[in-house]
A and B are shown apart, each in its own frame.
Chain A
Amino acid sequence: MQNAELFTLTYGAIVRQLLTDLEDVDEVNKQLDQMGYNIGIRLIDEFLAKSNVSRCVNFKETAEVIAKVGFKMFLGITATVTNWDVDGSSCSLVLEDNPLVDFVELPDMCQGLYYCNVLSGVIRGALEMVSMKTEVTWVRDMLRGDDAYELRLKLLKQVPEEYPYKDDE
């Protein structure tokens, strides 16, 4: 682990540069999500290698593992899983802390920006690598005046895994 300052400031500088270069808040949201997705599909390997979690039996367990093990391993924080729907296919992750947003204040011109969109992309990308198609969206965002950071996770499709695995891939 290392001091979060560099990470937080780098992320802030990236968002700022994207706003300048892309000139459109919706496009910035989209690109942050895409960057997150690309990061997620790479970080999942490290997660599986280091976490020693056994295979999750269902989406409920998966959400708990993300909240308690995944967030802890990478961002040093945890989240609470709440608001399950009846069939157990969507839930909320409420972050207990958020290292992305230290020192951040959004100017008025950034209304509509989902500053932390990289994070929803990371989760979506990582889950896709373990055969779960999901939709991940922000429902509460303190930078937009809400009282917490809350992500909504919705399982769209669970792709049956193919056997046998190739060991060298």
Chain B
Amino acid sequence: MGREVSESCIDALITEMVSSYCNRFYVNKPEVSARRIEAIGYQVGIQLSERYTVERPRFSEHLEAIKFICKEFWSELFKKQIDNLKTNHKGTFVLQDNRFQWLTHMSINASAETTDSSQQEPHSPNSTTLDANLLQATSMHLYFPCGIIRGALSNLGIPCAVSADASNLPACSFVIRIKA
């Protein structure tokens, strides 16, 4: 339909949604906040996947659907594809985005603070606490894209569980476990 909004609009909305759930609606109940944030993502994922697959025949196998998520789906959302896809051929898939857009501002802040003391040593003692704090803040944000992926696959008839690993910012891995 061609309508466009600024990226900062989307960023600001997601950030505020996460912060509202964590700091206002369910203070001290991070697991409830996490479920709600994931649920919002799930809803968005279902609808996006519905839209992006309108003109497309049904996927005949899981790998095809996963590849669709890695390529077309990711490109629609982030203007880039997933950088690396791994699977154990038993229903687990690991999708790595080397520079996940929704976390880049966090990693920029982090690297700005660490450059002075530990330029070449990302795992020096100085950066350990910083890494921990950063992880905590990012993990809440990641429930949203995890929900989106789960919603998208669920809409394609593939029930699954999705988790994320952002211990290596700005890279982020999404682990999809398809339910047998």
Give the B-binding residues of A (Cβ under 8 A): 1-7, 9-14, 16-17, 21-22, 31, 34-35, 38-39, 42-43, 46, 73-76, 97, 99, 102-103, 118
Contacts and interface: CB of A to CB of B under 8 A. Distances in A.
Contact of B5 (A16, A31, A34, A99): A99
B98 interface: no
Nearest to A3: B4
Contacts, number: 95
13 contacts: A2-B5, A9-B48, A17-B36, A17-B39, A21-B25, A22-B25, A35-B16, A42-B12, A43-B9, A74-B8, A75-B6, A76-B4, A103-B47
Interface string B103-144: 000000000000000000000000000000000000000000
B20 interface: yes
A34 B24 CA distance: 11
B146 interface: no
B12 A39 contact: yes
B17 to A, nearest CB: 5
A141 to B, nearest CB: 19
B32 to A, nearest CB: 9
Which 3 interchain pairs have the tightest Cβ spacing?
A: A13-B43, A1-B4, A4-B3
Contact of A102 (B1, B9, B12, B14): B1
Contacts of B6: 1-2, 73-76
B43 A11 contact: no
A1 B1 contact: no
- Interface residues of A: mostly helix, strand, loop or mixed? helix
B44 A38 contact: no
Contacts of A31: 20, 24-25
Contact of A75 (B7, B9, B79): B9
Given A6-B77, A35-B17, A99-B5, A21 B10 contact: no
B40 A43 contact: no
A144 B171 CA distance: 44
A10 B13 contact: yes
A76 B8 CA distance: 12
Contacts of B79: 2
Nearest to B77: A6
A48 to B, nearest CB: 13
